[in-house]
Amino acid sequence: MSPISRRKLITGGVAATAGVAGLATAAGLAQRYGLIPPDHGGVYGAGETLTYAAQRLLTTHAPAREFPRSMISKDPFANETAPPSDAFKKLQGGGFKDWRLSVDGMVAHPASFSLADLRSLPTHSQITEVACEEGWSYIAEWIGTPLAGVLNEVGVLPQARYVVYYSIQPDWWESVDMADALHPHTFLTMGMNGGELPVGFGGPLRLRVPRQLGYKSVKYITRVTVTDSLKHFGKGLGSASPEGGYAWYAGI
């Protein structure tokens, strides 16, 4: 063996070891700082992880884009949903007086809120855009109370990392990390464009997550669960979206 090839062999070996060690360290750090999305497996996992990690490193604290009142869409589009469930129709019949939002999981004081309870919390309005993964969008004024305030009421435990939220409609649930859950623009929304939130747009209660695509803004919210891991929710991919083939993180 010539000295050059031996040197190459040693250099190559050192480089490979350093590479593997570097990757392992990077993976460990990424896990520790919450840069790995729940749907990181499979052929698209690398791309998803890069996207989510880049967004978490660079845009975590950015406020959502807000628009002047003059830009509110005159004809917003209410995307179609599955026909309302019997449970929804029953509550609708009672004017949503008995609608409850239960908050549980890793919280100090699990609680249940009526719409009146939520309205008694500080309400804000934001003019933000709904952008659908299909390509269309509209701007509306959304009136509600930040999810962060409700989470503050119940006392989130320090090990909490994700917030899972459920629609009254079957198999419709999503989750976001604490960065998006506690973001001041993440709203439990009850009003739209100065009035009540119409049923077509998610009334009586929709979670608006304006820094992510429309499908993260689940309509007809009845339950919020705080957790440190998404492994035991559904198939462990984070939410219903990845189970249906769509990315969990939709801030893209």
Partner 1 sequence: MLPAMSAVASPPKSETPRQVGPRHSAVVRVTHWLTVVAFLALLITGGEIVISHPRFYWGEVGNVMTRPLFTIPIASSRDTVPTGYNYVMPDQNGWSRYLHFEAAWVAVLTGLVYLVYGLWTRHFRSNLLPVKGERSWGGYWRAFRGVFARYFRRAPPDAADARSYNVVQRTAYLAVIFVLFPLVIWTGLAMSPAFTAAVPESVILLGGRQSARTIHFFVSGLLLLFLIVHVTMIAMAGFWSRMRAMITGRAEAAPIRGKLEDKS
Site residues (CB under 8 A) for partner 1? 43-44, 46-48, 50-51, 55, 58-59, 62-65, 67, 71, 73, 75-77, 79-80, 129, 131-139, 210-213, 244-247, 250-252
Cα 29 to chain centroid distance, Å, stands at: 22
Q: Which is nearer to partner 1, 113 or 183 (CB)?
A: 183
Closest approach of partner 1 to the CB of residue 21, in Å = 21
Q: Which of 39/115 has CB closer to partner 1?
A: 39
The residue to which tokens 């993180």 are assigned: 249
Calpha distance 99→101 (Å, rounded): 7
CB of 95 to partner 1, least distance (A): 28
Please report, for residues 2, 99, 156, 174, 224, the alpha-carbon distance to residue 118 in angstroms, rounded to integers and kept in the order given. 77, 11, 17, 21, 14
Token pair, residue 12, equals 């190559």
Q: Which is nearer to partner 1, 72 or 111 (CB)?
A: 72
CA dist 139 and 201 (Å) reads 12
What SS3 state is found at 92? helix
**For residues 139 and 217, what is the distance between their CA atoms, to the nearest angstrom?**
14
45 CB neighbour count, 10 Å cutoff = 13
Query: Nearer Cβ to partner 1, position 8 or 97?
Result: 8
Q: Shortest gap between Cβ of 226 and partner 1 (angstroms)?
A: 22
User: What would the two tokens of residue 100 be?
Assistant: 């409850």
> Strand 187-192 and strand 206-208: pairing?
antiparallel
Task: Tell me whether residue 54 or residue 108 sits nearer to partner 1 (CB atom).
Answer: 54
Q: How distant is the alpha carbon of residue 49 from its chain centre? A: 16
Least separation, in Å, of the C-beta of 239 and partner 1? 13
Q: Closest CB to partner 1 among 33 and 77?
A: 77
**Cβ of residue 64: shortest distance to partner 1, in angstroms?**
5
Distance in Å, CB of 123 to partner 1, minimum: 22
